[in-house]
């Protein structure tokens, strides 16, 4: 017979707990969550917790994650299209897909879907960020391998 020494919590089990807030802060928080479209505090807290857990700075160097690099650049600036292509070929192992949108006659928006060790993704992001002609580049992590199976896609 199978013996279980530890209670394994059901992935969908909800745990209730009490939180103390200064009155002013909860007033501001309630206003914030209304503006964000939440109908209750619990869902807002859950989203904030998930966002905190996915903050890129908290991962260890070899942790495997998935996410996106979103960037805006001036495609006329020097040889940026060519440099960007070369860079993406260097990181081919970490890049799943790239979407390019011509925003106007000058600016391009590029969304790079990435999956790999956070160190590599950070290195790629940094290389993009310092390129001449890049106005904006942000790495955001939306998934890591140890994430609850209940929220993973298969
Ligand atoms: Ni373009």
- Please list the ranges in the chain whose pLDDT falls under 70: 1-9, 147-154
41 and 108 together in one domain: no
Report how far ligand 1's centroid is from the alpha carbon of 51 (Å): 30
CATH number at residue 139: 3.30.70.1150
In a domain, 152, yes or no: no
Report how far ligand 1's centroid is from the alpha carbon of 103 (Å): 7
Query: Rounded to whole angstroms, how far apart are CA atoms 18 and 38?
Result: 19
80-90 vs 118-129: helix crossing angle, rounded to 10: 170
Q: Is 100 annotated as a binding residue?
A: yes
In a domain, 154, yes or no: no
In a domain, 18, yes or no: no
Identify the residue whose tokens are 């940094």: 126
Q: Summarize pLDDT for 54-68 with one digit per residue, the tens.
A: 887 788 888 999 999
pLDDT number for residue 152:
43
Q: Is 108 annotated as a binding residue?
A: yes
| Residues contacting residue 118 through CB under 8 Å, at least 6 positions apart | 56, 59, 60, 61, 62, 63, 64, 65, 141
Report how far ligand 1's centroid is from the alpha carbon of 86 (Å): 16
Query: Rounded to whole angstroms, how far apart are CA atoms 50 and 73?
Result: 30
pLDDT number for residue 7:
62
94 and 31 together in one domain: no
103 and 121 together in one domain: yes
Report how far ligand 1's centroid is from the alpha carbon of 113 (Å): 17
Domain that holds residue 133: 64-143
In a domain, 106, yes or no: yes
- On whether the pTM is more than 0.75, the answer is no
102 and 127 together in one domain: yes
Written as six digits, the tokens of 28 are 């501001």
Number of structural domains in the chain: 2
pLDDT number for residue 153:
44
């Amino acid at each position: 017979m199978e013996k279980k020494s530890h209670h394994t919590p059901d992935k969908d089990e909800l745990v209730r707990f009490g939180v103390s807030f200064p009155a002013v802060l909860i007033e501001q928080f309630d206003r914030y969550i209304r503006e964000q479209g939440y109908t209750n505090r619990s869902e807002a807290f859950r989203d904030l917790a998930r966002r905190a857990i996915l903050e890129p700075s908290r991962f260890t160097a070899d942790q495997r994650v998935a996410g996106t690099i979103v960037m805006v650049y001036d495609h006329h600036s020097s040889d940026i299209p060519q440099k960007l292509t070369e860079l993406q070929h260097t990181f081919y192992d970490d890049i799943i897909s790239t979407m390019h949108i011509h925003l106007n006659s000058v600016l391009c928006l590029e969304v790079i879907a990435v999956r790999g060790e956070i160190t590599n993704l950070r290195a790629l992001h940094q290389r993009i960020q310092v390129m001449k002609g890049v106005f904006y580049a942000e790495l955001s992590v939306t998934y890591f391998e140890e994430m609850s199976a209940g929220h993973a896609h298969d």
